[in-house]
Amino acid sequence: MKNYSTVDNKRKQVWRQLWLDIHFYLGLWIGAFLVILGLTGSILVFFQEIDEWLNPDLLTVSVPRYVADDGKSIPYPIDQIIHAADQVAAQNSSISMIYGPRNKEGVFAIYADQESGDWQRIFVNPYQAKVTGVRSYSEDEWFPDYLIDFIFQLHFSLLLGSNGIVLVAIIALLLLISLTTGLIVWWPKTGQWRKALTIKWNAGSIRLNFDLHKTFSCYFCVVLGALLLSGVYMNLNDPFVWVTQQFSPATRDSPHHLVSISSAAMKPIRADQAWTIAADQFPDGELKSISVPDSDTGVYVITQKNIPGLSTFWCERHIAIDQYSGEVLDVRAPDTRRSAGETFLDWQWPLHSGNAFGWMGRILIFLCGLACPIIYFTGVIRWIQKRRIYKLKVNTQRTSVAANRQSGDAV
């Protein structure tokens, strides 16, 4: 008669060894990328503050006294801001994106694309409509000239261009698998939670290294998992949205996929007119950005920020506007979501950046990034330790076999 308890235990051991092997080898071979992504991600949590600190004349301005007195920003009209940028843009450029000031001391950032694929970021003082500086980029450049841009490229593409964007998404998926299998292997038996969640500081080096690896991985696993998943969302957006729609069919596509109805009798409206339409219909939001149509059928997408009473965690609104008629085609915001899938998608960027929870969220993401090297290097050390133990066991067995042979020959 079979001992079903023994068979069941053997089956569990086989599966545990499988999860452990997947966890070890995925972590060993792609975990180094986790270090890169984690450290660069920690820096990018504060990229705006760092860039402004390094380039104050370019990215910050003095606030006029009247603004400081009443606490309200009264910049030049957007059409004059765009006109100032046009004056210094490269020949045959077209405006593709307009970012409003981050705060009262901030500047407008105007993106100008060229036919060659090169592009510029032009920074404009919102109170004087004067250009504070220009950053130029080449389509085929590998290493951006500016520190924060270099870190951005390293973080989301490993400096490998469009192929790197896909590669980073695949790496994030594999790291998610490694994280999940590690969690399965780590899951403690009944009554051993305290042991699983604490570090025994007075233990030997092997036990201490193991405790550091499992504890850091455990405490940051939820945050790290959310970061990896949202990284896939940003680098492989269309496939990610498609998969989400299979589970939540009512989920809408990105507003950028909407279409303007062209007419020979109608001329496209300007970006400042699109903003006026959005602000008239939704006067409670501040300008964050204006995405300019990139084709004859494209739409304006206006993003508003700091909308009072909209959401405790993420108070932005996206408004799609027909570039010919000025009709509002769609509105995306926490109060207009139509499905659980849209809620899920809307949370990806706020979670990735930490902005959903203010300074607390940003600091948590920063610390998670710093934990990545600890998780990886303690994992590598753990692998080396297990290899040494395995080699020692093999050598011991060989010595034992050799000794038995010698004893047999002597007899």
Residue that wins the pLDDT comparison between 394 and 42 = 42
Helix (H) or strand (E) holding 161: helix 161-186
Average pLDDT across the chain, whole number: 89
Tell whether 360 and 258 lie within a shared domain: no
Tell whether 375 and 408 lie within a shared domain: yes
Give domain status of residue 152, yes or no. Answer: yes
Tell whether 245 and 292 lie within a shared domain: no
Tell whether 321 and 281 lie within a shared domain: yes
133, 58 Cβ separation under 8 angstroms: yes
Tell whether 222 and 325 lie within a shared domain: no
pLDDT digits (tens, 9 = 90+) for 306-326: 898 888 788 899 999 999 999
Q: How many domains does the chain have?
A: 2
pLDDT the model gives residue 70: 43
Residue 393 has pLDDT above 70, yes or no: yes
300, 290 Cβ separation under 8 angstroms: yes
CATH number for the domain that contains residue 312: 3.10.450
Tell whether 299 and 356 lie within a shared domain: no
Tell whether 146 and 202 lie within a shared domain: yes
Instruction: Pick the last residue of a domain from 332, 352, 379.
Output: 332
Give domain status of residue 32, yes or no. Answer: yes
Tell whether 258 and 241 lie within a shared domain: no
Residue 191 has pLDDT above 70, yes or no: no
Per the confidence metrics, is the pTM higher than 0.85? yes
Rounded to an integer, what distance in angstroms lies between the CA atom of residue 245 and that of residue 347?
Answer: 15
7-32 in b/e form (b: 16+ CB < 10 A) is eeeeeeeeeeeebeebbbebbeebbe
Ordered alpha helix ranges (H), 282-357 = 340-346, 348-353
Residue 85 has pLDDT above 60, yes or no: yes
Instruction: Supply the range of the domain harboring residue 298.
Output: 253-266+273-332
Instruction: Pick the last residue of a domain from 312, 332, 352.
Output: 332
Tell whether 237 and 191 lie within a shared domain: yes
Closest CA to 61 of 112, 123, 121: 123
Tell whether 140 and 235 lie within a shared domain: yes
Give domain status of residue 149, yes or no. Answer: yes
Instruction: Pick the last residue of a domain from 332, 347, 377.
Output: 332
pLDDT the model gives residue 4: 59
